[in-house]
């Protein structure tokens, strides 16, 4: 029953956005409309976090604000956009909360405060390009992945650099303290850190560093923003499995998140969200990844 309703809603959304796409060919993507699941509160078992959230009718979701295509907040905007946000909307809607209403609080979680925010309960879910690692699973719950990506290079259009091997000993920019910096150093280049990816873009443009590196999808967004000046090159030299973070005290959320993700893989809403958010920067929609099993 639940699935039927969800599919009906998804089909309606598909139609609505197809129509919207006809009218608006601009690159301004507002995101998909996802309708809240009305009987959510009754569907979950008593005592689960999902039941609590559904009954409370409010939720706090941690996302990135500075990654075009994944989690991005326009200057002066009030709802972030991107693929992470679209997936978050599916989860929120499944709890019976309208993802476009004020009942959803979008909290900016930078890389460094994702675990503390989950542990302290300042956010209920984290969808912030959150790579799944064993180390993190010791302190928070993570499931997915809903997305698999890898690190590439962003260089000036006239650059001869073809792979990370061409940059041995040279400075490559990324965000301070990020996993990308580690990978750059491991590959023999020298990782230099700035506060955000857009600052790195600036340093590549003014020639201070030869390249910047992070997940290819993020770079594609910047290459599209700076067409003719920057390009993405190289094979992916790492694999990041992007998942959903939740509190370790609430392991029951894992099955639920996987169910929602599985549904979105099957009914096409996942692919559609991907095309809408990452498609415009030229990333091809891949096959949905295989989800990790939840620990029993």
Partner 1 sequence: MNAVLDDLDAYLQAFGYTLALFVISGLLSLVLGTVLVAMRVGPVAVLRAAATTYVTTVRNTPLVIVFAFFAFFAPIINIRFTWLDVHIGRFDFTELFGAAVASLSLYTCTFVCEALRAGVNAVPLGQAEAARAIGLPFGGVMTNVVLPQAFRAALPPLASVQIALIKNTSVAAVFGVAEAVAQMRTFTNSFASQRLGIFIAFAIGYIVLVEVVSFAAARAERRWRIA
> Which residues contact partner 1 (rule: CB under 8 A)?
111-112, 115-116, 133, 135-136, 138-140, 171, 173, 176-179, 181-182, 190-195, 199, 202-203, 206-209
Give the shortest CB-175-to-partner 1 separation in angstroms.
9
Alpha helices in the chain (DSSP H): 2-23, 40-43, 49-56, 83-94, 114-120, 134-137, 179-186, 197-205, 216-225, 253-267, 269-277
Query: What angle separates helix 83-94 from helix 253-267, to the nearest 10 degrees?
Result: 110
Task: Report angle CA 217, 219, 221 to the nearest 5 degrees.
Answer: 75
Task: Closer to partner 1 by CB, 18 or 139: give it.
Answer: 139
- Spatial neighbors of 237 by CB under 8 A, at least 6 apart, are 150, 151, 152, 163, 164, 183, 187
Task: Closer to partner 1 by CB, 210 or 260: give it.
Answer: 210
Nearest to 172 by CA among 206, 204, 139, 146: 204
Task: Closer to partner 1 by CB, 115 or 215: give it.
Answer: 115
Task: Closer to partner 1 by CB, 188 or 282: give it.
Answer: 188
Task: Closer to partner 1 by CB, 53 or 230: give it.
Answer: 230
Give the shortest CB-19-to-partner 1 separation in angstroms.
43
The length of the chain, given as a count of residues:
296
Rg of the chain's alpha carbons, rounded to an integer? Answer: 19
Give the shortest CB-59-to-partner 1 separation in angstroms.
23
Give the shortest CB-179-to-partner 1 separation in angstroms.
6
Give the shortest CB-140-to-partner 1 separation in angstroms.
7
Task: Please report, in angstroms and rounded to a whole number, the separation of the first and last CA atoms in the chain.
Answer: 25
């Amino acid at each position: 029953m639940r699935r039927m309703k969800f599919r009906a809603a998804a089909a309606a959304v598909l139609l609505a956005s197809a129509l919207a796409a006809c009218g608006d060919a601009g690159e301004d993507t507002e995101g998909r409309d996802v309708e809240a699941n009305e009987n959510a509160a009754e569907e979950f078992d008593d005592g689960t976090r999902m039941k609590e959230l559904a009954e409370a009718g409010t939720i706090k979701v941690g996302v990135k604000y500075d990654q075009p295509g994944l989690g991005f907040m326009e200057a002066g905007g009030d709802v972030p956009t991107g693929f992470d946000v679209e997936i978050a909307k599916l989860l929120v809607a499944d709890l019976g909360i309208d993802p476009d209403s004020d009942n959803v609080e979008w909290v900016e979680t930078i890389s460094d405060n994702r675990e503390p925010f989950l542990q302290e309960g300042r956010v209920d879910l984290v969808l912030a390009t959150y790579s799944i690692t064993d180390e993190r699973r010791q302190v928070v719950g993570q499931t997915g992945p809903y997305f698999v990506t890898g690190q590439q290079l962003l260089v000036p259009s006239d650059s001869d650099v073809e792979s990370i091997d061409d940059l041995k000993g040279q400075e490559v920019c990324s965000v301070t303290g990020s996993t990308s910096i580690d990978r750059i150093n491991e590959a023999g280049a020298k990782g230099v850190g700035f506060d955000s990816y857009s600052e790195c873009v600036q340093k590549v443009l003014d020639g201070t560093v030869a390249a910047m590196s992070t997940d290819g999808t993020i770079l594609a967004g910047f290459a599209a923003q700076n067409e003719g000046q920057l390009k993405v090159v190289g094979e992916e030299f790492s694999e990041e499995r992007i998942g959903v973070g939740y509190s370790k005290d609430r392991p029951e959320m894992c099955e639920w998140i996987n169910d929602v993700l599985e549904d979105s893989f099957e009914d096409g809403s996942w692919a559609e969200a991907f095309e809408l958010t990452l498609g415009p920067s030229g990333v091809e929609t891949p096959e949905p990844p295989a989800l990790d099993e939840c620990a029993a």
